[in-house]
Amino acid sequence: MRNEPVLILINKITALIFCPLLIYSLLSAEEQPGMPKQHLNIAKTSTKSLLRLFSPQETPRPNRHPLLSIFPDPLPDGRSTVTMEVANQFLRPDFEFADNGRTFARFDGEDWGLTVDLAQEFGPLVFNLRLRGIWRSGGCADQLFASWHTLLGTPQGGRQYAPKFRLDYTLMRDGHLVAQLINNRICFMDTDLAVLCPFGNQESGGRLGVSLQAPTGSRRDFSGSGGWDELVGAALWKSWGYFRFHTQLEYAFLGISDINPYSLVLEHRTQKRAWVGAACQGCGHGFWSGLGLDITIGYTESPYSVSVPRIDRSGWQQHWTFSHMRFPKWKIGLSEEAGTYTSPDLTVFVIKKF
């Protein structure tokens, strides 16, 4: 679409303007002229405490497209958490048929997910069990998206040609049904068990890890791959003052057989993923001085080959995560595509750490 580059440019300009303003407000709140020395020392002590709390690289946010949700989840950070998230999916109706009719793909729906991470230390290692459940339905955000595009004066992206509040996740290739979900349902996804080996400290360090994904979900409704899947990954982080920089790299493998219907649409059964980001965290008690922001860019390789560009090409996402000193165990954020249109239109998440 002609307006897509304009929307991408708006996203980038927003980030360039908002981030420096937020960082400046956080820093200026701790450097007020005339501050008593004892107060300044208290502020410095608070800053160090917050850095110890927020510095480790946390579990990066995954791409929640149904076709990518069958792969192992990202390597966890080794802390027990509960995450609630909502993702809205939509594929333009004019992209449903491709490759001279060999492919039929329809993705229109809304996912309300609950993810539970249970972590336990055993010597130098950390074991993490991840359980995921999703309520998939037609949702309630279709009209909100339509109104938002109308307000901005931008195209609807094909939503005006699709029924509102519809759930239809369908993928067919050469007349064979790969997977389908058209009725509201609670889906129990594949289960991940990860083993982590952290090193360094909370201000500067990293971790290595592997995970095994068990086929507890159903292949028929995009709840799992139908096989035993593996993942290997590494994360690094480094803190300087108020700022933290982090990255995570992963390589995943789907352990499916040749008779698995997913083999009809996969060009290869491996997937590379990467995240890189930066964060700043205030240590004041006011709204602005205690606010923290993490901006992460994520890359997800697409192993699919169905002649639908928004399925076949690799995707980029932007993840914005907010935190606050008054609620150190809580985070809230959103994920949006970053110019490739290969991910959910919008994902909102809330994280509670234990």
Q: What is the pLDDT of residues 21-58, one digit of tens each?
A: 443 444 444 444 454 544 444 444 444 444 444 445 68
Buried b (16+ CB within 10 A) or exposed e, 167-181: bbbbbbbeeeebbeb
User: What integer pLDDT is reported at residue 56 of this predicted model?
Assistant: 57
Q: Name the average pLDDT for the chain.
A: 84
User: What integer pLDDT is reported at residue 57 of this predicted model?
Assistant: 67
Residue of 119, 137, 136 whose CA lies nearest to 128? 119
User: What integer pLDDT is reported at residue 115 of this predicted model?
Assistant: 97
The two tokens of residue 43 are: 């502020």
pLDDT digit string, tens, across residues 185-208: 999 999 999 999 999 988 899 999
Pairing of strands 191-200, 81-90: unpaired
User: What integer pLDDT is reported at residue 295 of this predicted model?
Assistant: 96
- Dihedral over alpha carbons 21, 249, 310, 167 (to 10 degrees): -90
Q: Enter the DSSP assignment of 7.
A: H
- Check: CB of residue 196 under 8 Å from CB of residue 210: no
E strand residue ranges, the chain: 81-90, 97-98, 103-122, 125-137, 168-173, 176-181, 185-188, 191-200, 204-214, 229-240, 243-253, 270-281, 291-300, 315-324, 327-337, 346-353
d(CA 45, CA 51) in angstroms, rounded, equals: 10
Q: How confident is the model at residue 92 (pLDDT cuts 50, 70, 90)?
A: confident
Within a 10 A sphere around the Cβ of 276, how many other Cβ atoms? 16
User: What integer pLDDT is reported at residue 266 of this predicted model?
Assistant: 95
Buried b (16+ CB within 10 A) or exposed e, 77-88: bbeebebebbbb
Q: How confident is the model at residue 294 (pLDDT cuts 50, 70, 90)?
A: very high
d(CA 114, CA 111) in angstroms, rounded, equals: 10
- Cα 159 to the chain's mean position, in Å? 23
User: What integer pLDDT is reported at residue 150 of this predicted model?
Assistant: 78
User: What integer pLDDT is reported at residue 320 of this predicted model?
Assistant: 96
pLDDT digit string, tens, across residues 93-132: 888 999 888 999 999 999 999 999 999 999 999 999 999 9
* Total number of domains constituting the chain: 1
d(CA 330, CA 352) in angstroms, rounded, equals: 5
Which run of H or E residues covers position 157?
Answer: none
Pairing of strands 103-122, 346-353: unpaired
> For residue 254, what are the CA distances in angstroms to 45, 226, 267?
47, 9, 12
Q: How confident is the model at residue 209 (pLDDT cuts 50, 70, 90)?
A: very high
d(CA 270, CA 254) in angstroms, rounded, equals: 6
Residue 4 vs residue 341, higher pLDDT: 341
Q: Mean pLDDT, to the nearest integer, of 251-265? A: 95
pLDDT digit string, tens, across residues 321-349: 999 999 999 999 999 887 777 888 889 99
Q: What is the distance between the terminal CA atoms of the chain, rounded to a whole angstrom?
A: 44
Residues in the chain: 354
Range of the domain at 292: 4-353
Residue 197's SS3 state is strand
Residue 73 belongs to a domain with what CATH number?
Answer: 2.40.160.40
